[in-house]
Amino acid sequence: MTSTVPALGTRTAEGSALQAVLLDMDGTLVDTEGFWWDVEVEIFARLGHTLDDSWRHVVVGGPMTRSAGFLLEVTGADITLAELSVLLNDGFEKRIGHALPLMPGAARLLAELHEHAIPTALVSASHRRIIDRVLTVLGPQHFDLSVAGDEVSRTKPFPDPYLLAAAKLGADPARCAVVEDTATGVAAAEAAGCRVVAVPSIAPITPAEGRTVVTSLEEVDLAFLRGLMTEMR
């Protein structure tokens, strides 16, 4: 979903150096990381394979080509990556049709960013068909644009999705705050040169230079995100 974005000079409210906020989707705004794993377990069970729970930390947060490819390699399942991708997307879409819980603090944060006209993008490794379904729950009005994993030649952990989102918003990546829940997403955002807020969902993430780790989105508001830019001065 894309909407008209005002010129860069009109977008920084109250003199803040924050130019844009770029948000991951699964596990960050919506509580769906577990959904993906459940679908993977169900599909591989139908294929005659049992997934080891330890593999969950390997596949979390990554693009489907990586996560599904890994599961195919370790199980030896007799199915192509393209066929498996269709099954995974179908299963996930069916699951979110029954319930799509938001992460604590997500609705409040999106409403605040929208109220203050902060340019905001949804940046996900999920495919466009999934993002569009989730946007109906998150509210498309909360995002100036979205970037899907199947719309870039290299998705997370490469910086391409975040560089593309920043460029479309006319923002300097160094003046963008990214909110992510996985090490894969954090790596992508940091490679793009963005300031990162990590809200770990499945696996722990350690603080680092240019990276702030919080336990919940309830700790994150506009003042918090602007403060990340102030630290750069």
Task: Decide the pairing of beta strands 20-23 and 176-180.
Answer: parallel
Locus of tokens 């729970």 = 53
Locate 165 and state its tokens.
């989102």
CA distance 200 to 57: 12
Tell me which DSSP letter residue 105 carries.
Answer: T
Among 11-15, 54-58, 127-131, 195-199, the range of highest mean pLDDT: 195-199
> What string of DSSP letters covers 54-104?
GGHHHHTTS-HHHHHHHHHHHH--SS-HHHHHHHHHHHHHHHHHH--PBPT
Between the CA of residue 151 and those of 26, 147, 156, what are the distances in Å? 17, 7, 12
- Between 118 and 34, the more confident residue is 118
Q: Tens of pLDDT along 13-61? A: 444 599 999 999 999 999 887 788 888 899 999 999 999 988 887 777 6
Locus of tokens 């979390």 = 60
Radius of gyration for the alpha carbons in the chain, expressed in angstroms and rounded: 17
The pLDDT assigned to 232 comes to: 61
